[in-house]
Chain A
Amino acid sequence: DAKTTQPNSMESNEEEPVHLPCNHSTISGTDYIHWYRQLPSQGPEYVIHGLTSNVNNRMASLAIAEDRKSSTLILHRATLRDAAVYYCILRHLYSGGGADGLTFGKGTHLIIQP
């Protein structure tokens, strides 16, 4: 499976944008880039995913490099509630009939300062 590399931790100030990087240099053409986050004492929750084009939803934006070897999760205006561990995960289009589990890396621990 293609692997991802993320910084162990990042710190940002409340109400400022946050850019969380992820490197995936061995990504294949049919790997989707998914992001999940895990708030303290909760289960992970889906944030966003993409293949080639940049994506936006109500939670965040995903910027994907042209060569797809890296991506960046963007929180446009961080709040204290965004403090969590953010996981960048590659998922093959057809793995397990679309039912394979998630392979979590170590993720990035995002700290938000008030």
Chain B
Amino acid sequence: DAMVIQNPRYQVTQFGKPVTLSCSQTLNHNVMYWYQQKSSQAPKLLFHYYDKDFNNEADTPDNFQSRRPNTSFCFLDIRSPGLGDAAMYLCATSRAGPVKNIQYFGAGTRLSVL
């Protein structure tokens, strides 16, 4: 039944050790998004893929990268995690188009940095 699946739900990494979070979807949507949500804050868009086109938000740090090898999968790579990168990372998908553009979110991966 799950439509946007994020693995793992909880991830612990060490300061400076690269980490990859994964997202898959069964909706065949052409847009995939990554959001960062820090404790007690609203989600903040990091970047999105529209088909194979990567769209980075202006204030997303270079430390954050993304890959989308095919329609179903998208990865978030954090090259050198700092303590400030501890957060919930949310993946979302949508079918691009005017009017609706409803986004479907995964349950998120909570990242801890030790």
Contact assessment for B107 and A43 in the assembled complex, using a CB-CB cutoff below 8 Å: yes
Whether A98 contacts B98 in the complex (CB less than 8 A), given A43-B90, A46-B103, A46-B104, comes out as yes
A71 vs chain B, min Cβ distance (A)? 17
Contact B35 A101 (CB under 8 A): yes
Chain B residues lying within 8 Å of A104, measured Cβ to Cβ, are 42-44
Q: Output the nearest chain B residue to A104 by Cβ-Cβ distance.
A: B42
For chain B residues 2-57, which have a beta carbon within 8 Å of chain A? Answer: 4, 30-31, 33, 35, 42-45, 48, 50, 55, 57
18 extra A-B contacts, CB within 8 A, seeds A42-B105, A106-B42: A41-B107, A42-B107, A43-B90, A43-B105, A43-B106, A46-B103, A49-B102, A91-B101, A93-B99, A96-B55, A96-B96, A97-B50, A98-B99, A99-B50, A101-B92, A102-B45, A103-B45, A105-B42
What are 30 pairs between A and B in contact, CB < 8 Å?
A32-B99, A38-B43, A43-B4, A43-B92, A43-B105, A43-B106, A43-B107, A44-B43, A45-B104, A45-B105, A46-B103, A46-B104, A49-B100, A94-B98, A96-B50, A96-B96, A97-B50, A97-B96, A98-B101, A99-B48, A101-B33, A101-B57, A101-B103, A102-B35, A102-B45, A102-B92, A103-B45, A104-B42, A104-B43, A106-B42
